[in-house]
Amino acid sequence: MSADNNSRVAIVTGGSRGIGRAVALTLAQQGWRVCLTYMSNEAAAHDTADHIRKLGSQAVVVKADIASQADCQRVFAQAHQAFGRLDALVNNAGVVGGQRSIFDADATHLREVFDANVLGLFYCASLAASAMSTQKGGQGGCIVNLSSVASRTGGMLLEAHYAASKGAVDSLTLALAKELAPHGIRVNAVRPGLIDTEIHEAHGGQETLKKLAPTVPMGRVGQAQEVADVVAFLCDKHSSYIDGALLDVSGGR
């Protein structure tokens, strides 16, 4: 690893499990120092951090509700205190919101989904932009938003709220890519399809994955590592001319 690689710092929200954990570990393998957040599973978060340290990198763990602007501010403050710089933000934290018919839509449920999946991205992107902007004394960097193929397919039955929130993520990505390019910041989104993670417990878990796997052109469910590799690529210099991309990792689905 080069000294330059060892100096890079990433914040990965929701980095304790699933795709977030895979992203955090993949970046650590490439020499990144990582600040990861978690919402409830402290043991999983610290286990991820321990693995990062075993890889020879550094990790900071912060408990935070990304739907809270104050919590987001605290995450970035602690990351700055620990590492003194920021080179990448991976907006991974989010919720499915369970299955709910449009006939049962209510303000509380919708706010929970959109606060976590959309407003949280706004808060973190704003803080990351302020830290990385070359016009504000930063060194540039990148933001990678975790969206979903649900944003273009409508998602699974009874999950319109989730699909709509991810559609907002896509729009936010495109808008920020244009706004932040002059600041030396690239903004892209990765849209996973059927990936074998705990998030699918919201709609049937492994049974649902087995049922839907044959509908994927590649004939199988994807793995978190396959998404993480793409996220890491978008954080790397080899993707230096990629900005405003909505990249599907979905096996052709």
* HEC sequence for 153-203: HCCCCCCHHHHHHHHHHHHHHHHHHHHHHHHCEEEEEEEECCECCHHHHHH
Least confident among 45-49, 196-200, 238-242: 196-200
| Helix (H), strand (E) at residue 19 | helix 18-29
Look at the chain and count its residues: 253
Measured between alpha carbons, how far apart are the two ends of the chain, in Å? 36
pLDDT band for position 242 (cuts 50, 70, 90):
very high
- pTM for the full predicted model: 0.94
Structural Rg of the chain based on CA atoms = 17
Arithmetic mean of pLDDT, 77-82 = 98
Q: For residues 211 and 144, which has the higher predicted lDDT (pLDDT)?
A: 144
Least confident among 15-29, 84-98, 141-155, 191-205: 191-205
User: Going along 33-78, which residue ranges are E strands?
Assistant: 33-38, 59-63
| Average pLDDT along the chain | 95
Contact 189, 144 (CB under 8 A): yes
Q: For residues 6 and 169, which has the higher predicted lDDT (pLDDT)?
A: 169
Concerning whether 241 is annotated as a catalytic residue, the answer is no
Q: Residue 235 CA to chain centroid, in angstroms?
A: 12
Q: What angle do CA 172, 167, 66 make, to 5 degrees?
A: 65
| Closest listed residue to residue 162, CA positions, set 192, 142, 188, 127 | 192
